[in-house]
Amino acid sequence: MRRGSGRRRRASIIALLGSLLGLGGAGCTGGGDGQEIRVTPGAGAVNVREDARLRVAVLDGRLERVRVVRTADGESTPVAGAIAGDGLSWRPSAGRLAVASSYTVHAVALDGHGRRHSRQTTFSTRAPAGRFVAHFSPEHRSTAGVGTIVSLVFSRPVADRAAVERAVTVTARPPVEVAAHWFGDGRLDLRPRAFWRPGTAVTVALRLKGVHGGGGYYGIQDKKLEFTIGRSVISTVDARAKTIEVRRDGRLLRTLPVSAGAAATPTYSGYMVVMERLRTTRMNGQTVGFAGEYDISDVPHAVRLTRSGTFLHGNYWTPRSAFGSVNASHGCVGLPDEKGGSPASPAGWFFRNTLPGDLVRVVNSPQKTVGSDNGYGGWNLPWPRWRAGSALRS
């Protein structure tokens, strides 16, 4: 969900009427192709050539900050670059992109009226000719939540899924059975039967080098990736009660008021896993089929729950009285916040106490259960169905 000034005033009016206000979830997304910030290559671009130009630009105003991170084999590295003297563009210091990598661009700009806008996009570069790579989540050497699902997204379609799956192993200390599940021919997810135990050390071995994935493409990775499971934080959103209960290691920390999806755009049911945390992002209804309904450039404390655009985020444009009493979003779950994002607000507190891999469960919503491939919704599949998605068992 993302918004702007006149549009923001309209959203407030809609909020007071108790209809479609705020940032939605099944349909609030970050990003959008607004004219404030333009990123090249475009959002979601794949197989980008290494000689492609990487550029961030604004038509007016100035860029305030730009952060670009390159991720390869589960490790992230900042990309050096500089904002031009006139503040209108940013370019990297190096002339060429790295092959077989994914890039995340996060930019914040001030427009000609002094209003802050933000944008985050990702794109990936091509693997060498005849080769394929797996982009990995979570990051190497990270601390992740108990709902973490190991996810591999391949740079090319995999025809021989069994051969590729056989080359990927996940081990844990203390030991636990881990099973694989394919989503199409481009994504392989792995998880245990139940949520990870806090303190578990997880190792992912990618022995893909020389493995024929089909179609004449061979893997190039031979690497071990490690991460650790942190404390257990599981939050339950009750769409009927309009609250979220946050439990850490089984103990209730706080109960906070929320505004979930309205009757026409309810929030997905079931388990979702925190994918990323953005201190500020833009949410634009045009990116998820709500043309012109909202465009908010500075949504604070945004916690992404699905790839389709469900967020749990701060909301400063809705009256405080709505939280805990009215469900009015386009599917997202909103928490009280202040413009610019207040660390002391309910949204700021939730943001500070959240890790990628933490679990958020939505109950008492009329919406269907979130898809198992929409973000990391695999916890909604019963264990037998999850195991049946393995190419080695079918």
Q: Annotated active-site positions, please? A: 313, 332
Residue 302, amino acid: A
Hey, which residues does 102 pair with through a beta bridge? 71, 124
Q: How far apart are CA 216 and CA 225, in angstroms?
A: 26
Q: Is 287 helix (H, G, I), strand (E, B) or coil?
A: helix
CA angle 203, 208, 214 (to 5 degrees): 140
**Beta pairing partners, 233:** 248
Cis peptide before 138 (omega within 30 of 0): yes
Task: Tell me if 63 sits within 8 A of 109, measured CB to CB.
Answer: yes
Between the alpha carbon of residue 335 and those of residues 2, 6, 268, 324, the distances in Å are: 16, 22, 17, 9
User: What dihedral angle (degrees, nearest 10) is formed by the CA atoms of 288, 293, 299, 305?
Assistant: -30
List, in order, residues 6 or more apart from 367 with CB less than 8 Å away: 26, 261, 266, 267, 268, 269, 331
d(CA 154, CA 132): 7
- Alpha carbons 253 and 242: distance in angstroms, whole number: 17
DSSP sequence for 305-347: --TTS-EEEEESSS-GGGTTT---BSS-EEEE--TT--TTSHH
- Measured CA to CA, the distance from residue 137 to residue 16 in angstroms comes to 40
What is d(CA 137, CA 149) in angstroms, rounded to the nearest whole number?
8
3-state helix, strand, coil in the chain (%, to 5): 10, 40, 45
Would you say 330 and 24 are in contact if contact means Cβ atoms under 8 Å apart?
yes
Spatial separation of the C-alpha atoms in residues 292 and 300, rounded to whole Å: 21
